[in-house]
Chains A and B, each alone.
Chain A
Amino acid sequence: MSNPLSDMEHPDVIFAIGTNMTECHPVAATRLKKAITRGAKMIVADPRQTRLAKIADLHLPIRVGSDVALLLAMAHVIAREGLLDRDFIEKRTAGNHEFLEHIKEFTPAWAAPICEVDAALIEQAGLLYGAGDPSAIFYTLGITEHICGVDNVQSLCNLALMTGNLGNLGGGINPMRGQNNIQGAGDCGAVPANFPGFQPCSDPESVKKFSEAYGIEIDPEKGITKVTALNNAGKDGPEGIHAMLIDGENTVVSDPDKNHCEKALKSLEHLVVIDIFMTETAELADIVLPATAFAETDGVQTNTERRVQRLRAAVKPPGEAKPDWWIISGIAKHMGTPGFEFESAKDVFNELCSLSPIYEGLDWERIDNGKYQWPVPAKDHPGTPRLHEKEFKNGRGLFKLIGYRDPAEVIDKEFPVWLTTGRRLQAYHTRTQTGRSSGIDYLLDEESLEIHPEDAAQWGINEGDFVKMSSRRGTIEIKARLTDRSPRGTVFTSFSFASVPVNILTGSGYDPVTETAELKVCPVAIRLIPGK
């Protein structure tokens, strides 16, 4: 997030797109609800009538994957109506002339048939966001899990840049991170393009720094993503991947195209999985190593607002389970890799701080009460709750010229229905944890497919019937649930239940830059299973 969570109570206008916040980030959503009670207006763009959509002033139930068209048309309205922040554009941005020229043709009338909502709604959304002072954007995977995920994010940046909603109290562009430490995994350099602290692998100085620190010559180019690694698993030739170390991820259930993923992991010569349970992924491993869990582990994690916070062990781990850092260091030491003589989580964290400029002002003691949000470049620095307040890291904020593209697969005669996937309040991801916590089943004990009642009537499907749902990659069986939460022509389910492995169906395409899968769009065919 560019802004702190506490800023969520301050916007004049909230624009929530592709985020089912009351179910996925419920505590953050309470802040939005407070802002609304205070009088803030909210625009929600989401195909489904989520709880957030119900309390919004304006809900745009756009067709899945049409976000860019909506955002271009909103930008058009903002420019046409003179809602630009000229001063901000002049002083802090670049490329505005080309951008303002570019959006002239993308009228709400142009976007309406793509988004399948009235042009008047798009018009209102542009006016509302453009007039807000401040206006804040919130998004989640509904923006990023598309073949145009990067385009979606950059389109949102364009809106914020043209209206001066960056670096201000209660404004900004705020992605809500989905996992407790997914931000931290990036901070720590567990990405193919960056060393710890987002120091780029393409920067010769950084390569030199880490080569020296780690005592080995590190490649001067970035590595490969998990998606590429899985694609190349077991392949002959130089790009072939033959061994993998997976820590705490149930790849087989959470990733798109389950069959492909399973085949890839099975083709490896050596697969080591570290986890707290025998997950579907661990079942495929050669070696499974037991890790400590929440309440058993000392450590650090970074939340969605870049706040660095301490985890503390409260109980002894079961049996011989060990902290991940101990396990990974053990493997490294057995391989003869130097630099893994860590004796505690504190040792590891302090090494991270010593090598990352954004953590340079932090250490194990200083993060004790969670008061710092990175970057914290020096010991006397107070931290940075709000990014871009005075300047952008790279100088000026750059407008990007984005065009609309269809999703990787679009509906046709054979697969005439849009499937979009997501999460539910009571289940977390693949339920390895919530599924093993008593009481949760009382509220959610099975997965079902949300179908609009009018679609269901047309397809001859009743509440509780079982249907076969197929995509170009496979077929699953699922129980039908009739609700107008999903719009006509679009169905919804979550990937949380292994008994309904919806990721057999997904995996139609990937964003070319980030290789993030288009999990939010998948054309499917739905047929009643008579008598089941």
Chain B
Amino acid sequence: MIAFKDKSSGTVAGSLTIDGELIEFRDGETIYQIAERCRREVPTLCYDERLEAFGACRLCVVELEGIHNPVASCTTMADDGMVVKTKTEALEKHRKTLLEMVASENSNLDVDPLSGYASQELGQLLSRYNANNGRFAGNKSGDSNRDDKNPFILRDYDNCISCYRCVRVCAEQEGDHAINVMNRGFNTQITAEFGNDLRDSQCTFCGQCVQTCPTGALADKKALRASDLPGDISKTRSICPYCGVGCAVDILTKDDRVVGIHPAMDGPANEGALCIKGQYAFDFVHHPDRLTKPLIRQADGSFREVEWDDALQAAAAGFSKVREKYGRHAVTGIASGRAPHEAAYTMQKFIRASFGTNYIDNCSRS
């Protein structure tokens, strides 16, 4: 049996059998959550663990002993004694058919991973099930809003599969309700109010809809600028440089350039959320205005580029001179609230260890 190692965090509600294995579960767990926990790799397209289960894509269906039709595992709560099968021939055939239907409208199945965090989900499932978009080709739903001139979010609804993850993340996670679903069936359309551009809606451009989209229908326009850069995409875990919430991010790099940002779904402070600044305001890193050489002011008032050693020597000499002329209480240091600990720590140590004073402050007073 797969039992909980840590008995302290929540009571065990019962056990069920999944694919022949007895598994303990806690109160409120769905069959899908338990299956995920035990790495059954049940496929899904409409599921985002941060959102209420929706049961739309039907890929996560499982067979339940005593129930005639397969049930969606994401919306079925576990019950003591349940016997579940997640991978039968019938289920796999059903899933393949569903995938072929879902993909039938999508002209582009090869989605650039720069499009968004979840953008590869449909493509990966299609290759896992050896499915493609030919079998049910025909009708198409959704009008593309590629002409929305906003610089962040590409809206190519040709690739939309009506999983509603974008609508749900905007409502449930962000509380913004900027987009919604209009019409049904082949006329289904994700739209901002009155069919407006996103700028004229409640949209805050947090990018959450882009990051949860499993097909690249919503895509990160800024990141896609780097489509043609050579090399692979690398990810580096770091923390957003803006406010004090401390959202964890994955910095996407290509060819030694920052090309995009992904929210870290396991970031302890943000749990996958980001805002417009953390998601899109990163171009400053490679901006041509960046300072690249130490500068010293000359007699005529202009700056001259110098070597590091000369700059550090001149900086030190200036502080020493002021100390000699006016005493050690004539020098102060202002640390940054933007730079890391190592900057603030060395700054206060520089003042305390060089001058024996506490003439050190930071920018928190304004």
Which A residues have a C-beta under 8 Å from some C-beta of B?
5, 22, 24-28, 30, 33-34, 36-37, 55, 145, 176-193, 195-196, 201, 210, 214-219, 221-227, 229, 238-249, 251, 254-256, 269-270, 272, 275-278, 282, 285-291, 293-297, 299-305, 307, 309-316, 318-325, 327-335, 337-340, 342, 345, 348-349, 351-352, 370-371, 425-426, 428, 432-434, 436-440, 442-443, 514-517, 519
Residues 347-360 of B, flagged 1 when their CB comes within 8 A of A and 0 if not, give: 11111111011111
Q: List 29 A-B contacts (CB under 8 A).
A: A30-B174, A34-B172, A37-B175, A176-B243, A180-B241, A187-B341, A190-B362, A191-B348, A191-B362, A215-B353, A222-B358, A227-B365, A251-B334, A254-B363, A269-B322, A272-B318, A278-B291, A288-B294, A288-B295, A289-B291, A289-B311, A295-B285, A311-B239, A315-B258, A332-B353, A436-B283, A436-B289, A442-B151, A443-B276
B112 at the interface (CB under 8 A from A): no
For the complex, what is the distance from the CA of A135 to the CA of B269, rounded to whole Å? 21
B10 at the interface (CB under 8 A from A): no
Given contacts A34-B175, A190-B335, A325-B346, contact A242 B326 (CB under 8 A): yes
A-contacting 9-mer, from B57-65, B116-124, B186-194, B198-206: B198-206
B4: which A residues are within 8 A, CB to CB?
none
For the complex, what is the distance from the CA of A210 to the CA of B248, rounded to whole Å? 34
For the complex, what is the distance from the CA of A442 to the CA of B289, rounded to whole Å? 21
For the complex, what is the distance from the CA of A217 to the CA of B329, rounded to whole Å? 14
| Residues 333-351 of B at the A interface (beta carbon under 8 Å) | 333-351
Contacting B291 at CB < 8 Å: which of A186, A238, A276, A302?
A276
B344→A185 contact, CB < 8 A: yes
Q: How far is the CB of A102 from chain B (nearest CB, A)?
A: 29
B253 at the interface (CB under 8 A from A): yes
A425: which B residues are within 8 A, CB to CB?
204, 275-277
B308→A329 contact, CB < 8 A: no
Given contacts A196-B345, A248-B343, A335-B320, contact A225 B361 (CB under 8 A): yes
Contacting A304 at CB < 8 Å: which of B244, B267, B325?
B244
User: How many residues on chain B are close to A (CB under 8 Å)?
Assistant: 114
B332→A180 contact, CB < 8 A: no
A319: which B residues are within 8 A, CB to CB?
290-293
A330: which B residues are within 8 A, CB to CB?
308, 312
7 more CB-based (< 8 A) A-B contacts, given A179-B244, A331-B316, A434-B281: A192-B360, A243-B319, A287-B314, A325-B345, A349-B342, A428-B243, A439-B151
Contacting A248 at CB < 8 Å: which of B256, B281, B338, B364?
B338
The residue of chain A having its C-beta at the shortest distance from the C-beta of B272 within the complex is A27
A313: which B residues are within 8 A, CB to CB?
236
Residues 263-288 of B, flagged 1 when their CB comes within 8 A of A and 0 if not, give: 00001111001111110111111110
A25→B243 contact, CB < 8 A: yes
A433→B241 contact, CB < 8 A: yes
Residues 298-327 of B, flagged 1 when their CB comes within 8 A of A and 0 if not, give: 000001000010011111111111110111
The residue of chain A having its C-beta at the shortest distance from the C-beta of B221 within the complex is A439
B67 at the interface (CB under 8 A from A): no
B107 at the interface (CB under 8 A from A): no
B267: which A residues are within 8 A, CB to CB?
370
Q: How far is the CB of A377 from chain B (nearest CB, A)?
A: 18
Interface centre among A190, A245, A249, A301 (most CB of B within 10 A): A190
Q: How far is the CB of A19 from chain B (nearest CB, A)?
A: 12
B316→A178 contact, CB < 8 A: no
| Residues 148-162 of B at the A interface (beta carbon under 8 Å) | 149-152
B350→A331 contact, CB < 8 A: yes
A440→B281 contact, CB < 8 A: yes
Contacting B318 at CB < 8 Å: which of A278, A287, A325, A432?
A287
Contacting A370 at CB < 8 Å: which of B248, B316, B326?
B248
B340: which A residues are within 8 A, CB to CB?
181, 184, 297, 299-301, 311, 324, 345
Given contacts A221-B358, A247-B336, contact A325 B326 (CB under 8 A): no
Which B residues have a C-beta under 8 Å from some C-beta of A?
149-152, 172-175, 199, 204-206, 222, 234, 236-248, 251, 253, 256-258, 267-270, 273-278, 280-287, 289-297, 303, 308, 311-323, 325-327, 329-354, 356-366
For the complex, what is the distance from the CA of A219 to the CA of B353, rounded to whole Å? 11
B285: which A residues are within 8 A, CB to CB?
293-296, 315
Given contacts A37-B175, A186-B362, A432-B284, contact A181 B338 (CB under 8 A): yes
For the complex, what is the distance from the CA of A340 to the CA of B342, rounded to whole Å? 12
A176: which B residues are within 8 A, CB to CB?
243-245
A55: which B residues are within 8 A, CB to CB?
175
Shortest Cβ-Cβ A-B pairs, 3 listed: A319-B292, A303-B246, A299-B340
B308→A434 contact, CB < 8 A: no
Q: How far is the CB of B281 from chain A (nearest CB, A)?
A: 4
A248→B339 contact, CB < 8 A: yes
For the complex, what is the distance from the CA of A461 to the CA of B341, rounded to whole Å? 48
The residue of chain B having its C-beta at the shortest distance from the C-beta of A285 within the complex is B297
A338: which B residues are within 8 A, CB to CB?
353
For the complex, what is the distance from the CA of A180 to the CA of B249, rounded to whole Å? 13
For the complex, what is the distance from the CA of A11 to the CA of B300, rounded to whole Å? 61
Interface centre among B204, B313, B348 (most CB of A within 10 A): B348
Q: How far is the CB of B268 from chain A (nearest CB, A)?
A: 5
B289→A277 contact, CB < 8 A: yes
Contacting A340 at CB < 8 Å: which of B257, B313, B346?
B346
B320: which A residues are within 8 A, CB to CB?
335
A426→B360 contact, CB < 8 A: no
Given contacts A27-B270, A177-B244, A436-B289, contact A249 B334 (CB under 8 A): yes
B318→A30 contact, CB < 8 A: no
Contacting B205 at CB < 8 Å: which of A191, A224, A443?
A443
A225→B289 contact, CB < 8 A: no
B341: which A residues are within 8 A, CB to CB?
181, 184, 187-188, 299-302, 348-349, 352
For the complex, what is the distance from the CA of A516 to the CA of B339, rounded to whole Å? 21
